[in-house]
Every structure is written in structure tokens, then in C-alpha cells.
Amino acid sequence: MAVLDIHLLGSPVLRERATEIAVVDDALRAFIDDMFETMNVACGVGLAANQVGSTQRVAIIDAEGQTFAMINPRIVSATGKESKEEGCLSIPQQYAEVERPALVRVKYLDYNGNVSELQADGLLSHCVQHEIDHLNGVLFVDYLSSLKRN
Ligand code: GNR
Ligand code: NI
């Protein structure tokens, strides 16, 4: 187990599109374990591989009592609109209201490589979408007007 360094805004890996994972093996699980340790030390509610310098398509979530890894996640439906305050471990001390679909269904492979599907609302929904954005090289500040971003 290891606590990994978190890349901050300006690091190019945060702008890369993470690539699909072909096999869920022990090496990937060891990396996910390190991601959990890193997220817990940093007191985050989610973490994407880009944030620790990897372009594997995996993110983890610990929000609203749900703790899980999402490998190759994809949103299969999104409805409604809701605004919530977001922060990001890669953009310390910056918080802003972000409007996103309120309810999403997401399909992914879990820690054991099994196909899973989750319906998320509230903070969990924002977290899932925030992490999938990271895997696409997108940061929450991209949704802000230039005035708010500055
Ligand atoms: O710690 C985090 N808080 C948070 C709050 C609202 C919506 C998303 C998040 S995720 C963030 C941790 C992080 O940077 N994950 O990528
Ligand atoms: Ni983030």
C-alpha cells in the first residue's frame, strides 16, 4: 500500500483521456488499493486515476455511504438538472456550484471485474460525473464562466 502524489491543475495528465482497461487483475487491484489510501489521507469523496498520474480508466468513490471502484465507467442515462458545490483534490481550496444532470445510471466493472450498474442521485451523482469527467480530461472549473474561474 502507498499514498500516491496528487497532480494539481496544470499537470498535463489531468487533461488526458484515460484509456480502457482490458483486464481486471491483481496489479490493477493493488493500484486501486493505493488510490483508496490516497483518497482517504486527502479526505476526498472520490479520486480518478489521472489525479495520481495514471491514464488507466478507473476511478473510486466514497460518498453517501457508498464506497466502490468504477473501471471503464459509462453513463447510460442522465435526467434532470441539479446544482451542487464541488471541489477537487487537484484544485485545492477552490469550490463552485456546478450544474449537472440530477440522476444518472452508470455501468462499469467493479473491483472484481464484474459488470455492475448503479443509479445515483444527490452528491453521489455529482461525484460519479466528476470522476468520469476526470477520465475524459475534464475538470469542474471547465463548466464555470471565465469570471467565476478567475
Ligand atoms: O473531494 C471531493 N469533493 C467533491 C465534492 C463535490 C463533487 C465532487 C467531489 S470529488 C472531490 C475529490 C476529487 O477531486 N475527485 O476527483
Ligand atoms: Ni476531482
Convert the pLDDT of each residue in 15-71 to its tens digit: 999 999 999 999 999 999 999 999 999 999 999 999 999 999 999 999 999 999 999
106 C-alpha to center of ligand 1: Å? Answer: 17
CA angle 81, 86, 91 (to 5 degrees): 140
pLDDT tens string 99-120: 999 999 999 999 999 999 999 9
Question: Using the 8-state DSSP alphabet, how is residue 111 labeled?
Answer: T
What is the chain's Cα-based Rg? 14
**pTM, to two decimals:** 0.97
90 C-alpha to center of ligand 2: Å? Answer: 6
23 C-alpha to center of ligand 2: Å? Answer: 25
HSE toward the beta carbon, residue 106, CA cutoff 13 A = 29
Question: In 3D, which of 4, 66, 8, 13 has the Cα closest to residue 35?
Answer: 4
Residue 127 CA: nearest ligand 1 atom is 8
Q: Positive or negative, the Cα torsion across 30, 31, 36, 38? A: positive
Cell 489521472 belongs to residue: 50
pLDDT level of residue 128 (50, 70, 90 thresholds): very high
Cell 471547465 belongs to residue: 142
Residue 85 CA: nearest ligand 1 atom is 6
Q: Which residues line ligand 1 (CB under 6 A)?
A: 44-48, 51, 86-90, 126-127, 130-131, 134
91 C-alpha to center of ligand 1: Å? Answer: 10
Closest C-alpha to ligand 1, atom 11: 88
Closest C-alpha to ligand 1, atom 14: 88
Which ligand has the shortest distance to the CA of 141? 2
Q: What is the pLDDT of residue 149?
A: 84
Cell 463552485 belongs to residue: 96
CA distance 3 to 135: 20
Phi/psi region, residue 43 (left: phi>0; alpha: psi -120 to 50; beta: rest), is left
Residue 39 CA: nearest ligand 1 atom is 12
